[in-house]
Chains A and B, each alone.
Chain A
Amino acid sequence: MKKLKKLIASPVTTIAAFAVAAGLLLFSSIGGARAALTYFSDDYAANIQLHEIGVTLVENGAPVEGELLKGLLAEGEELKLGKAYQEQLNVYNSGVINEYVRVSIHKYWVDREGEKIPSLSPELIGLNLVNLGTDWLVDQEATTKERTVLYYNKLLASQSETPLFADKLTIDGSIADRVGETRETSGGYTTITVTYEYDGARFCIEAKVDGVQEHNAQDAIWSAWGRRVTIDDGVLRLN
């Protein structure tokens, strides 16, 4: 099977297969003989090709595959409240065509069962956004405490990447502020158990990158993302 695969994957086979395929397909398209007309032209062919679009999220220089923050802590390392961890995020155009991109960042807390806890503050999950205004535009209409939507204001060429949109992640030390407490005294011992609202909660950062084709991008963004933007000479502005 491996040999077969290798054979199939070889460019020579591909080209040969294409040529023969095209020949056979063309032969199959011959409808009838041409007896009555005298002079015939060449074939005037027009080939239309549609290419692939692709987008990849890049975290600390490496493409991310579904899971974010994987390398934030070393094994066994505890998360340090207040520490600014390196979390460099940007976008890479992994497709064949140029594209416009946007990023939606969601920050929230979930409980042990993975259920969202809307009462805990997303603002304490500090993802430091950078290059705002110069490269990335914040969509104020879409911004909530939980969500930030950034539009890259330039065309992103195929196989190239954007400047960073985030560089650091800090979990605010004040999540340790909100406490309840139980104490138990027996003899000379007093045991104090402190409970925190955020204890056991899991913070989540979700980054979703959308890409849209270069041609007719203004209409395509309107149609696919719903958002009205203006694209002038490759520069995107939010309406």
Chain B
Amino acid sequence: MRKRLLTLVLLAGTLICAPAAARAETLASERNISFTSDNKLSEDRSAADMNNAVYDLQPGDDITITLNLKNDNASAANWYMTNEVLQSLEETAGSGASGGAYEYELAYTDPAGAREILFTSDTVGGENNSSRVGLKAATSGLEDFLYLDTLSPGQRGVITLRVALDGETQGNDYQNTLASLQMNFAVDTTTVNNQTVTRVVDENGTPILVDDSGNPVEVDEDGGSSARTRIVRTGDENDLLPYIAAAGVSGLLLLFLAILGIKERKKAKNAVKALSLALALSLAWGMSGRAQAAEDYTYTLRLYAGAQGTIDASVVQRLSDAGATVSIEDGEVCVVSGLHYGEQVVFDIQRGVALQEGSKYYRKGFRVSGEDTNSNRLANPSVTVNGDTDYVVAYGIQGETVAYTVTYRDTEGNELYPSAVYYGNVGDMPVVAYQYIEGWQPQAYNLGKTLVADASQNVFDFIYTRIPTVVNTNTVVVPGQPAAPQEPGAQEPEGVTVVEPEEEPEAPIEPVGEEIEEDETPLAPPDDYRNLDEEETPLGGYDGGEDGDDDDKGIMTSILDDIATPLAVLPTPAKAGILAVLAALAGAGIWLIVAARKKGKKEDEQ
């Protein structure tokens, strides 16, 4: 336990340490561990030195930790190790980080130089709903001691652990996060390990992990592979689980408290920033309406493919401005120029952006170039032009994929355009654009919705309404010929504008103009964006009441619901732990109240 304390202090110290101005994008660390003649596992440096390093990384960086294992003992020794992620970046209290991916590789090189991969995956984490968050998914099979090798006196083996942070998926949410990995080694000279290790390679020479029977080890649910069969059963199952859970939760609470403390201190500094962000947001003009026609000035929209794909002209699904031009530069950027203010461009990145071959990414949508911090969703694929704007395609790493369907129907449910099926991750919120259909308008140009595991619920319905057709009827009398006799009453005054429903000639013709407002409601223009989640999921407990109290109740209920759902999925010991903490908090609260009363009484007496 004493040794573990060192790690604690380090973990505690990580946020306090001043960052080093490291420029390197690949970091490395090397240590030596030997099993000494006096039966001790010793290091070449003190534990404090070894663990002192806090690696300042940024998305896209990677770190390789090398541990040289040496047997300096007179007898042969069986080496074992564990590898555990104590905390993944996503678990930093107060951080909203999620969805980022990692590359994780743990390998052992034996004295003969043969390298065996104990675990490898380039898509650890990512967007999935696994119970093991982020990096923790990598070590699910490595947390109990697993046998490495038997080293004869004087022999060396090498453990390398490489962790890379995926740049494409680890964004701003990962700022101010920290992770802690741990490896432990054990040596046994007394027990004879009877296990045989079979190295099997496939036709490409890539090692395949096999179990004792020689069967290949399947890739586990987290996308990596690990040799679970080699885990050594080292001890009995204990019954400390509830306490452990309680300790875990308490630890998190305290960690949160600590972060809160740091935040409080930083608040003054950050207030300025927050204000500027709020102001910046408020400056996003409500320029959705169409302004007067521009004389000459035209705008340019550019959609960049970004680092993971190439773009072609099919990315422009619709261009309402006939004078605009589309050009593609080196497959990297689509430039739409000559656009007039208020015109519309619809991009379809699923069609017009090709991923690199074998890419682990998928096309998620696109966003305004450089914007990230405040973007809680992607840009609308249907863009109304109000300035020169650049966009960049956003990519994600596939997690729990689910299909979603986009339909284009009229109010009667008749299909106006073939449905399209796309794929996204559960929890994603894709935004889809409408299809232009002559004579019809949708309820919104863009629809957004959060994907759920049940594909049948992931339907984006564009519902179209027919646009009333405006027909100008002018009576022209040809000179020299008598005008056709017209029945009284059927005569229309010159220049009258009428509305004529296209497929219903029997319908009475109604004059347009001021009268139309009395007879029928003119069709409102479509919304620019509509969030289907908000339409379909009213706040829990909301009873439709208009007054503030009822509204607040609805919000409270919804918050409780939000908390209750994850609570329900927690294992029982964890629930017990949480209950224990809550009880402790309640106790502390009561104690404080009693103390305050006593104090009050004392003061009264005085």
Contacts and interface: CB of A to CB of B under 8 A. Distances in A.
Interface in B148-202: 161, 163, 165, 167-168, 172, 174-191
> How large, as a class, is the contact surface on chain B?
35 or more
Interface stretch (B84-92, B459-467, B535-543): B84-92
A48 B291 contact: no
Contacts of B304: 225-227
A52 B58 CA distance: 10
A115 B289 contact: yes
Interface string B228-266: 000011111110100011011011111101101110110
Interface in A73-89: none
B422 interface: no
B186 A39 contact: yes
A67 B282 CA distance: 10
A206 B257 CA distance: 39
Interface of B: 3-17, 19, 21, 23, 25, 29, 31, 33, 35, 39-41, 43, 47, 50-51, 53-61, 63, 65, 67, 80, 84, 86-87, 89, 143-145, 161, 163, 165, 167-168, 172, 174-191, 232-238, 240, 244-245, 247-248, 250-255, 257-258, 260-262, 264-265, 272-273, 275-280, 282-283, 285-287, 289, 291-292, 294-297, 299-300, 302-308, 332-333, 340-341, 369-370, 372, 386-388, 390-392
Nearest to B280: A66
20 contacts: A9-B265, A10-B261, A15-B12, A18-B258, A22-B251, A24-B247, A36-B188, A37-B234, A40-B184, A41-B33, A43-B6, A43-B47, A50-B89, A51-B19, A51-B175, A118-B294, A206-B283, A208-B370, A216-B58, A223-B306
A129 to B, nearest CB: 17
Given A10-B261, A66-B280, A48 B57 contact: yes
Interface string A32-75: 11111111111111111111111010000001111100000000
A146 interface: yes
A56 B390 CA distance: 21
Interface of A: 5, 8-11, 13-15, 17-54, 56, 63-67, 94, 96-98, 102, 104, 106, 108, 110-111, 114-119, 142, 144-147, 157, 206, 208, 210, 212-216, 219-220, 222-228
Contacts, number: 375
B287 A116 contact: yes
B63 A48 contact: yes
Nearest to A10: B261
Interface class of chain B by DSSP: mixed
B585 to A, nearest CB: 13
Given A32-B235, A216-B25, A216-B59, A21 B244 contact: no
Interface class of chain A by DSSP: mixed
Contacts of A48: 54-55, 57, 63, 89, 163, 165, 178-181
A44 B188 CA distance: 19
Contact of A39 (B12, B39, B262): B39
Contact of B61 (A28, A54, A216): A216
Contacts of B370: 102, 104, 208, 210, 212, 224-225
A215 B25 contact: yes
Contacts of A157: 21
B22 to A, nearest CB: 8
Given A32-B234, A223-B308, 15 more contacts: A9-B265, A13-B257, A21-B258, A24-B248, A48-B179, A56-B273, A66-B278, A97-B58, A142-B388, A147-B387, A147-B388, A213-B60, A220-B60, A223-B392, A224-B306
